[in-house]
Structure 1
Amino acid sequence: MDELTAFTPDVRTRNLIADAADGVRRTSGERIGDLVEAALLRTLTETVGIDQEGRVFIITGDIPAMWLRDSTTQLTPYLRFLDRSPQLADLVEGVVRRQFGFLAHDSYANAFNDGPTGAHYDPDDVCDDPEVWEQKYEVDSLCYPLSLAHTLWRSTGRTAVFDERVHAVLRTIVDQLRAEQHHEESAYRFERDTPIPTETLPRGGRGSAVAHTGMTWSGFRPSDDACTFGYNVPANLFAAQALRALAEIAREVLHDEVLAADALALSAELRAGVSAHGIIDGPDGEPIYAYEVDGLGGALVMDDANTPSLLSLPLIAPEVIDREIWEATRRVVLSPANPYWFAGTALRGIGSPHTRERRVWPIALAVEGLVGTPDDRIRLLRMIAETDAGTGHVHESIDVDDPAVFSRPWFSWAESMFCELALQVAAD
């Protein structure tokens, strides 16, 4: 492993960020504009490293590992600049290459080291691969790199990243999502010696029992918590959308009609599975999307702050959702019917079983704004900015009554989503 050099934004990139922050200042005030400019620069200079061979590695901000999900979402606010900043386009291309390299190494892992360092979240996990930080299988880990690669291509026309290795990984993604439609036949296992049930899988690491539904199985949620029921509905809809992107790449760039057809067929199967098994009656009798189901009668009415979430579906799966059902779902998950929706004197919004009760996540507040009205966006942007406890950082979760009580002093994904919301407010 080569020593990493910090990413240094060039003049064009800094000017784009400064101009964007000035737009935020005009619409949302000096303080929010200052927070946005600092966060956009901080993510680039303090989470991105590049080795002597040009390989990119992105940490979460406070954990020295690269998540396939976080490394995509951390880049979200910069994607609007790709056609004007060759440096940022080069960075995103480098991230895509590294992500697909990780998937080629282990398509079931969620987080990786910068080389075979042997670092692990828990050294006693079943997976002892020195390049893998953690091998929690999460469907979104396959989808986020696809989404990022598709955006890079559509925004810049760049196709060099889609080489033979990536072509093979695209086939692996389709085959793995299809194989996990029949999880009982899968060889994947995850066990951790822990009293925390969300940190391991029951039944010898296989997870709770599931029936065949047409959906694809996930061991863990995007929170890195174990699924209660094996079919995570927002992850399946995200996969259905990502497979459409994969099909476009396969057909238009790789000229692989077989792969394109397979991806589209699987996308349709996932969507049909959600329609047949993932839509349930809500508290008021309206059809809503469940958060998780097992095909055996088990279903969860809830949502989690981490994306893909039910609330985020218009952002991450716009072409494959039923808008009317999502609207009904949105009303439920933004209410006490969602056991992880909390309200207090300082905050109201969605939290997560991953953190303590009565903690709201700024990521969820940003998503709520991005799928809401312009007035929602302004209100929620101010809510996030006013509850940073004077730190100048956006945190993972915040106590609804006391913003000075929070988890993770610096969480880059949360800061990027705050920036994305602020930039959208400026564009409204």
Structure 2
Amino acid sequence: MHRRKFLQQTAMAGAGVMVAKSGFSRLTKFDDFPVVRIPVGQRKFKSDAVEALITEVNQKIGNKEIAWLFNNCFPNTLDTTVDYSLIAGKPDTFVITGDIDAMWLRDSTAQVTPYLPLCKKDKKLQQMIEGVIRRQNKCIIIDPYANAFYKDGSKKSEWIKTDRTDMKPGVHERKWEIDSLCYPIRLAYHFWKETGDTAPFDEHWKEAMALVVKTFKEQQRVNGKGPYSFTRETSFATDSLPLGGYGYPGKPNGLICSMFRPSDDATIFPYLIPSNFFAVKALGQLAEMWETIGKDAEKAKEARDLAKEVFVALQQVTVMHPKYGKIYPFETNGYGSINLMDDANVPSLLALPYLEAVFPSDATYLNTRRFVLSEDNPFFFKGTVAEGVGSPHTGLDMIWHIGISMRGLTSTDVKEMAECLEMLRSTHAGTGFMHESFDPSAPIKFTRKWFAWSNTLFGEFVWKMYREHPDLLKAPVPEVAATPPSKQKSRWKIF
């Protein structure tokens, strides 16, 4: 089922849940909360390390509602979306997004990445994530322009009757998004760094990574439009591309064209800035893997040279905003046109430090962040219960739990972190889980009651607060002062 079809269905379903359990957001004893996590016998995958962490957090944090939410949300990917097996003696893991029975390269990476630090304590968890890397490589080899795939490589897409593109068997949806190829690099790189395991970096990985670089270069569109085009018979303008399926033109300048956003909505202008920043970081990580694991200096140089080319082009895209100063736009076309906004889907402008694509102390990023978290961003919405970034994908006046979690994860201000925790705690609509989007004045109205990425990201945020700011997990959430800007530091390199 297409994601848009959940807008009305899940909102109505959520209302039924909330009416039955309207008091949960005010309870403080953990035993008073209902059991909403899927029963043990029905869970898809069990990690001893994840269960041990859940037990530890539940025992040690004072805010029992957040502990309950962590118990439900952090393992949700493992409980409900993972299909792990061995193929020819090697791990293979297919990961659905939740309520849609397909595997997105983006979502599957985001869903399992928070578990990586636990792999050293859990060999089975490590093997499961190795299986995700192997499955992603297979998907990229099928079609590097596709964003979502079926487990059955012979299955034909439900979109085959409406989509005018080169739709191959095994592909669920073929929307070209830069981030679809960045995320598998991110997962493989951090898997290697956390475990030291190079088992998944085989010939399939090498073939897939060569296709990634080839596809990025094609979509710089220096020598014509490239091989990709896409149109769909649909009433949603954001589900199709104009001008013969190639989208609105961009003036070649070194940036990579992305015809769709991580929301799976069409871009307005082809140079999607957050995704190009993500590509720079991912290509730098790929170059390091080619050098150290692949022992291929030529491939490493090709990836690093492309990263530098895109990075140089990104230095030319900043704009001077009359209120916020120099900021990054969301999209450009190389001809001078810009789109000033942000979308809660990741990569976003807000999420750039989370992806290690910019330093959190970067002055332009901080200006951009102030813009994104203001009503000058047309997709930032305020209500009586919460505020945050939404998305054209879910319409006006609906904000995303992912956006609130990401705001907390990228913040250097303890007061802001506390505010994000409180907004997340108070907007689960009695379900015990995070959702896609919700009405900031009436969280009872929400979309997607089963969205594993949103759940796991919330768990990652709580875990970070547990390690770094445990006082924020007391009950009630304490009043804290803002962190002085002078303490906003970073020790990363971009590429």
Class of the TM-score when normalised by the shorter of the 2 chains: over 0.9
2: distance between equivalents of 1:21 and 1:79?
Answer: 20
* In structure 2, distance between residues paired with 1:40 and 1:286: 38
Aligned to 1:125: 163
Q: Distance in 2 between matches of 1:193 and 1:279?
A: 36
Call closer, same or farther: CA 1:366–1:296 in 2, change over 3 Å: same
Letter in structure 2 aligned against 1:37: N
Paired AA for residue 144 in structure 2:
S
- Residues 1:107 and 2:144 aligned together: yes
Counterpart CA distance in 1 for 2:374 and 2:49 is: 44
Out of 41, 44, 63, the position equivalent to 2:75 is 41
Aligned residue for 1:50, secondary structure, equals: strand
Deviations 1:159-190 (A, max 9, x none): 01111121121121112111211164301011
Q: Which residue of 2 aligns with 1:408?
A: 448
Gaps of 5+ in 2: 1-41, 469-495
Does residue 83 of structure 2 align to residue 83 of structure 1? no
* Preserved CA contact (<8 Å) 1:243 1:267: yes
Corresponding residue number in structure 2 for 1:149: 188
- 1:334 matched to 2:373: yes
The one of 268, 286, 289 equivalent to 1:228 is 268
* Deviation of 1:121 (Å): 4.5
Contact 1:374/1:425 (<8 A) preserved: no
Counterpart code for 1:57: F
- Contact kept? 1:250, 1:260, Cα under 8 Å: yes
1:136 corresponding residue in structure 2: 175
For 2:397, the equivalent position in structure 1 comes to 358
- % identical equivalent positions: 37
For residue 30 of structure 1, report the CA deviation from its aligned partner: 1.1
In the alignment, the residues of structure 2 paired with residue 330 and residue 197 of structure 1 have an alpha-carbon distance, to the nearest angstrom, of 28
Using CA pairs below 8 Å that are at least 6 residues apart, which structure has the higher relative contact order?
2
Report the Cα distance in structure 2 between the residues aligned to 1:307 and 1:8, rounded to whole angstroms.
26
Aligned equivalents of 1:342 and 1:259: distance in 2?
A: 44
Superimposed CA distance per residue, residues 82-119 of structure 1 (whole angstroms, 9 cap, x where no aligned partner): 22211111111110110111001110000000112224
Show the counterpart of 1:261: 301
Distance 2:336 2:86 in 1: 53
Paired position in structure 1 for 2:110: 73
Provide the TM-score with structure 2 as the length reference.
Answer: 0.82
Indicate whether 1:64 and 2:98 are aligned.
Answer: no
In the other structure, the counterpart of 2:490 is none
User: SS of 1:76's equivalent?
Assistant: helix
**Whole-Å Cα distance in 2 between the matches of residues 390 and 58 of structure 1?**
26
What SS is found at the alignment partner of 1:189? coil
Determine if contact 1:230/1:294 at 8 Å carries over to the other structure: yes
Question: CA shift at 1:317, angstroms?
Answer: 3.2
Q: Distance in 2 between matches of 1:362 and 1:132?
A: 28
- 1:270 paired residue number: 310
For each residue in 1:215-248, what CA deviation from the matched residue of structure 2 results, as whole angstroms up to 9, or x when unmatched?
A: 0011100000000000000000000000010011
Task: Give the length in aligned residue pairs.
Answer: 420
Moved more, 137-146 or 7-16: 7-16
Matched, 1:209 2:249: yes
Q: 1:239 to 1:398 in 2, by over 3 A?
A: same
Name the aligned partner's letter for residue 46 of structure 1. T
Distance in 2, matches of 1:366 and 1:13, equals 20
Question: Which residue, 367, 381, 386 being the options, matches 2:421?
Answer: 381
Answer whether contact 1:6 1:49 (CA < 8 A) is retained.
no
Poorly superposed stretches of 4+, deviation over 3 Å: 10-13, 20-23, 317-322
Distance 1:59 1:67 in 2: 7
Q: Secondary structure at the match of 2:74?
A: helix
CA RMSD, Structure 1 to Structure 2 (Å):
1.7
CA distance in 2, matches of 1:301, 1:15: 44
Q: Which runs of 5+ in 1 are unaligned?
A: none
Structure 2 CA distance for partners of 1:171 and 1:130, relative to 1, 3 Å: closer
Give the distance between the partners of 1:123 and 1:46, measured in 2 at CA: 30
Shift of 1:208: 0.4
What is the rounded CA distance, in whole Å, between the counterparts of 1:320 and 1:246 in structure 2? 20
- Partner amino acid, structure 2, of 1:345: T
The one-letter code sitting in structure 2 at the alignment partner of 1:99 is Q
| Separation of aligned partners in 1, 2:47 and 2:454 | 24
Residue of structure 2 equivalent to 1:166? 205
Secondary structure of 1:171's aligned partner: helix
Residue 322 of structure 1, CA deviation: 7.9
Change (3 A) 1:330 1:415: same
Conserved 8 A contact 1:381-1:418: no
Q: By how many angstroms is 1:19 displaced?
A: 2.3
Task: Report the TM-score when normalising by structure 1.
Answer: 0.94
Pair member with larger Rg: 2
Cα deviation code 1:42-86 (max 9, x no counterpart)? 320211012463421111110000000000111132122122211
One-letter identity of the residue aligned with 1:49? D
Instruction: Give yes or no for contact 2:84–2:93 (8 Å, CA) kept in 1.
Output: yes
Assess, with a 3 A threshold, how the Cα gap between structure 1 residues 400 and 285 changes in structure 2: closer, same or farther: closer
Q: In 1, distance between residues paired with 2:289 and 2:155? A: 33
1:18: Cα distance to partner?
2.4
CA distance 1:422–1:322, change in 2 (3 Å): closer
